[in-house]
Structure 1
């Protein structure tokens, strides 16, 4: 609470006494400390490795002393340049009176790896303060539960975690769980966004983990991840075969019809619909965005795709896509637009009153400011099956940090656009 609620009475009292000239992570224990502050300080020392800074106006972050740079394991800039002032704030590397990097100064003062990551870091285009975020939460907000999990990961050796990770890899799946605080919420989100093939693999893995742990706990037998996945996969296939015998051909036909109805729908008369999707290139430090604008008759009006450099989360990439869509609408002067994204997390975050401390929080704040001034503009969630055209647009070749604009659909999209227009 001391960091997440800086204006509270408790925070102001502690700050005035124990860290008046810096932030809590730099605070010392001090002499004659109260029992409460001593407890906070000791907990802070155990947990401070789980915090990092999120860039806002750059006035509070010390560029060499604080962890803030995305793409680095420890989030820290490498201090190697002897002629650079060690106590400079990040804002010293902005162009004067602007929210853009001074490229010449950055290139002069940093080596290639850090220089590249700094210039890829997005500076919020709104009034935003620097803030500390908790890296073990998808919202960047500290909770006691996430704090315990972080501490346990540092101090407890859990072989079961290694075995579980191997099970996921054996099934050809890999998820970034670093910022997942509640597995149940994450699993429900996956059910609403992933396709049937991925969900089946997830069911196989979860069943295999459960089976292997039961054998280990109750029978003392060790089953390798490969065997666990094979047995679980066989159970799923046996269930599918048994289940198929119980349904008639008519049942299968009805189920197919239900699935086929999940398609793109044109907007109401007099409106436009703008579909947007993001595609991450894992390990390449870049992501792509695809945008497609269609009218109320389902006719392609124009499209755009872009490739952006940066190490970002899936949620941040999807949020950046929607923000780019809103800006594109503003620049085009188009009225009455419905923006559709297949990221349920992003759309829910927009409508939520919760604060997101990570970079995505600044992006959501920009959304909200823009949407307040545009009553004719709305953002909605849509299933992946109804957003395939935007997904393909994101895959159209594009140079890094460039964009392509289309007044007619590229060849890759002709088939899907024709099928959706016919519907």
Structure 2
């Protein structure tokens, strides 16, 4: 199971994260919903012993979320290995399609990437952004626009949000790249303007972890032509 956790950026330190919110930050509300989901609250009235423990915890002079955390520990409500298996975490992999184009929509190169392990959709999108950053740095490009159809990630980067999930490392990594390359940017685009990358993502199942600057896979030829009408112009400042 540990091997199924995607490692996004080894250069950044580990952090504590809460799995039941999108940004990884714990809240009492999310804790309550998590307990209900995991089925660890009995339907019947609580026993005298449980009620006594609950009363003692609430009398402690600590923030409510800390008392709530202690209660979850006592009731086996933490997302430990057994609970995670119950929630359906299993083997799998994620694929990414990358397309580098000029401002007129013509293609400079394309690439595919694959990652072993299980992840949610947002983390998968973030892994794609990390692949793009690493590819751009490898090519030595300093003036680019990262186009994603994931509003969650684009908004997090634009707002420099403090995300405590694993994909938050990508947000910070992208922010550092943009800071070091002021002529670059990240933008949200509609899915119809990003079809070429989706086709390359499918192609990654056939030819994973490859790059093309010539003889681009035929699967995106027609898509590139159609996408040109949806590509926003990019003018150097």
Normalised to the residue count of structure 2, the TM-score between the two structures is 0.69
Larger Rg: 1
1:327 lines up with 2:134 in the alignment? yes
Deviation at 1:366, TM superposition (A): 1.6
Structure 2 residue aligned with 1:302, among 103, 109, 113? Answer: 109
Deviation at 1:123, TM superposition (A): 6.2
| Residue 396 to residue 284, structure 1, CA distance change in 2 (3 Å) | farther
Structure 1 unaligned runs (5+)? 1-71, 73-113, 158-281
Deviation at 1:333, TM superposition (A): 1.7
Structure 2 residue aligned with 1:150, among 26, 34, 38? Answer: 34
Aligned residues of 1:126 and 1:366 also touching (Cα < 8 A): no
SS at match of 2:35: helix
- Counterparts of 2:42 and 2:104, CA distance in 1: 59
SS at match of 1:389: helix
Q: How does 1:350-361 map to 2 (within 5 A)?
A: 350-361=157-168
Q: How does 1:222-237 map to 2 (within 5 A)?
A: none
Deviation at 1:131, TM superposition (A): 2.3
- Counterparts of 1:375 and 1:318, CA distance in 2: 23
For residues 220-268 of structure 1, the C-alpha deviation after alignment (integer angstroms, 9 at most, x for no partner) is xxxxxxxxxxxxxxxxxxxxxxxxxxxxxxxxxxxxxxxxxxxxxxxxx
- The equivalent of 2:227 in structure 1 is 420
Aligned residues of 1:339 and 1:378 also touching (Cα < 8 A): yes
Higher RCO, 1 vs 2 (CA within 8 Å, ≥6 residues apart): 2
- The equivalent of 1:405 in structure 2 is 211
Aligned residues of 1:306 and 1:398 also touching (Cα < 8 A): no
Aligned residues of 1:398 and 1:404 also touching (Cα < 8 A): no
Q: How does 1:16-415 map to 2 (within 5 A)?
A: 72=1, 117=3, 121-122=6-7, 124-128=9-13, 130-153=14-37, 154-155=40-41, 284-398=91-205, 402-407=208-213, 408-415=215-222
SS at match of 1:385: helix
| Residue 297 to residue 363, structure 1, CA distance change in 2 (3 Å) | closer
Aligned residues of 2:8 and 2:130 also touching (Cα < 8 A): no
RMSD: 2.4
- Counterparts of 2:8 and 2:141, CA distance in 1: 27
- The equivalent of 2:73 in structure 1 is none
Detail structure 1 runs of 4+ shifted over 6 Å in the superposition.
none
Deviation at 1:121, TM superposition (A): 4.2
Deviation at 1:341, TM superposition (A): 0.4
- Counterparts of 1:358 and 1:135, CA distance in 2: 7
For residues 92-114 of structure 1, the C-alpha deviation after alignment (integer angstroms, 9 at most, x for no partner) is xxxxxxxxxxxxxxxxxxxxxx6
SS at match of 1:134: coil
| Residue 398 to residue 381, structure 1, CA distance change in 2 (3 Å) | same
Deviation at 1:326, TM superposition (A): 1.6
Deviation at 1:418, TM superposition (A): 2.2
- Counterparts of 1:313 and 1:151, CA distance in 2: 20
Normalised to the residue count of structure 1, the TM-score between the two structures is 0.40
- The equivalent of 1:172 in structure 2 is none
